[in-house]
Amino acid sequence: MEERITKVHKLMEEEGLDGLLIDSAVSRFYLTGFTGTAGRVLFTRKNNYFITDFRYTEQARQQTRGFEVLEVTRNQVEKIGELAKEDGVKKLGFEAKTVSFAQFEKYREKMPEVELLPTQDLIAGLRIIKDKSEVEKIRKAVEITDRAFEHICNFIKPGLTEREVALELEYFMKKEGAEKNAFDFIVASGKRSSLPHGVATDKKLKVGDFITMDFGAVYQGYCSDMTRTVVLGEPTAKQREIYEIVLKAQLEVIEKIKPGMTCQEADALARDIIAEAGYKENFGHSLGHGIGVEVHEGPRVSYASEEVLKVGMLITDEPGIYIPDWGGVRIEDDLLITEDGCEVLNQSPKELIIL
């Protein structure tokens, strides 16, 4: 965490800030390692403070390094104002996307002599490049999803509901070490597989269905995100055709993606193949996104993004084709951008699995 603290102080200097107040749970965890649900972090040019109440004081002292832990059960904002004054803070940055207007008004009332300055994604920018410890945690989360996919392929049978499949995935992954789900799992079968975000319902699985499953685990605070589409019973010629197009697009990204490429160029690797096959209008979402403490974070691997891929970024590769009133296919892996291309963290098979 010391390296991250150093980076925050450098950011403060670059932004002309005397202090930075962290309210979001995601930024708090990333910067401190604290896993509790209540606490504020205040950086000043002189000190680093972790402010929490009686419930979490001991936990904060065990989990954080490089911070002075202060127990403040009431009037935390007043205490922040006192600390800011003591440390000579004149310009205090805050997280614009996290602080509500009501909270801002309270800060302004209790710190009238401090100029409050909204910041946009300062900490999120630090999180884009993963260090070795982060990669290993994500790798563990991916291993859990891989084992879960193998298990669920042996579990699925006609008559089960999508919801039962989702619950089995969750139960199995938690037994395997997942802290929680990375997001609400998608289990969409038959015609519902045309819904990119078709959260599981009570629809029963039947022979002939495509079943798209998008699921992820959280391991020590870090997420995985994986999608596989299988077919229950012998596939039709069209099902095979659509699946092979998506697989070709997904593998093209793995083969050709590299640092220095823009996210737009990476997206085009898959999008062009799908468009050439005649399904341009059936691939409406981005190729992928960054993954880490949050299941969706920077960079956005999109046809609209000129952001440049760099070594250490960890992104998803998830092209799809979705045909209304028929069904759809998505295949997704988590990729680590390396010096000469990428490393695919997932080990699950991608050929069409017939259950």
At a CB cut-off of 8 Å and minimum separation 6, what does 210 contact? 189, 190, 193, 229, 230, 231, 239, 327, 328, 329
Section 11-28 average pLDDT: 97
Query: Is 304 within 8 Å of 172 (Cβ atoms)?
Result: no
AA letter at 12: M
Share of the chain above pLDDT 70, in %: 100
Query: Is 28 within 8 Å of 34 (Cβ atoms)?
Result: yes
Share of the chain above pLDDT 90, in %: 99
**Average pLDDT in the chain:** 97
Answering whether pTM is above 0.85, one says yes
Residue among 87, 68, 86, 76 nearest 110 (CA): 76
With a cut of 90, say whether residue 74 has pLDDT above it. no
With a cut of 90, say whether residue 1 has pLDDT above it. no
Domain boundaries along the sequence of the chain: 2-127, 132-344
CB atoms near residue 36 (< 10 Å): 17
Section 198-219 average pLDDT: 98
Section 77-105 average pLDDT: 96
pLDDT for position 106 = 94
With a cut of 90, say whether residue 73 has pLDDT above it. no
The superfamily (CATH) of domain 132-344 is: Creatinase/methionine aminopeptidase superfamily (3.90.230.10)
Section 110-131 average pLDDT: 95
Query: Is 352 within 8 Å of 243 (Cβ atoms)?
Result: yes
Report pLDDT digits (tens) over 151-178: 999 999 999 999 999 999 999 999 999 9
Section 229-248 average pLDDT: 98
User: What CATH number has the domain spanning 2-127?
Assistant: 3.40.350.10
